[in-house]
Amino acid sequence: MRKLTCRPLDRAAFAPFGTVIEAAGARVDLINDGSTRRFSDLASVELGGPARDPVIGIYETSARRFPLRLLRLKRHAQTSQVFIPLGVHRFIVVVAPGDAAPGWAGLAAFVSAPGQGVCLRRGCWHHGLVALGDGDRFLVIEGGDYRNDTVEVDAPEAIELLAPG
Give the model's pLDDT for residue 111: 98
Give the model's pLDDT for residue 46: 84
Task: Report the top-level CATH class of 2-161.
Answer: mainly beta
- Extents of the domains making up the chain: 2-161
The structure's pTM equals 0.93
| Peptide bond connecting 67 to the previous residue in cis, omega within 30 degrees of 0 | yes
Q: pLDDT tens for the chain, 165 residues: list them.
A: 999 999 999 999 999 999 999 999 899 999 999 999 999 889 988 877 665 678 899 999 999 999 999 999 999 988 899 999 999 999 999 999 999 999 999 999 999 999 999 999 999 999 999 999 999 999 999 988 878 889 999 999 999 999 998
Give the model's pLDDT for residue 146: 78
Give the model's pLDDT for residue 50: 65
Give the whole-angstrom CA distance, residue 80 versus residue 44.
8
Give the whole-angstrom CA distance, residue 164 versus residue 132.
9
Give the model's pLDDT for residue 148: 85
Query: Residue 101 contacts by C-beta under 8 Å, 6 or more apart in sequence?
Result: 153
Answer yes or no: are the C-beta atoms of 12 and 108 closer than 8 Å: no
Give the model's pLDDT for residue 52: 67
DSSP string, 20-35: EE-STT--EEEETTTT
Q: How far out from the chain centre does Cα 74 lie?
A: 12
Give the whole-angstrom CA distance, residue 31 versus residue 102.
43
Position 138, amino acid: F
Answer yes or no: are the C-beta atoms of 135 and 102 closer than 8 Å: no
Quick one: which of 40, 39, 46, 41 has its CA closest to 81? 46
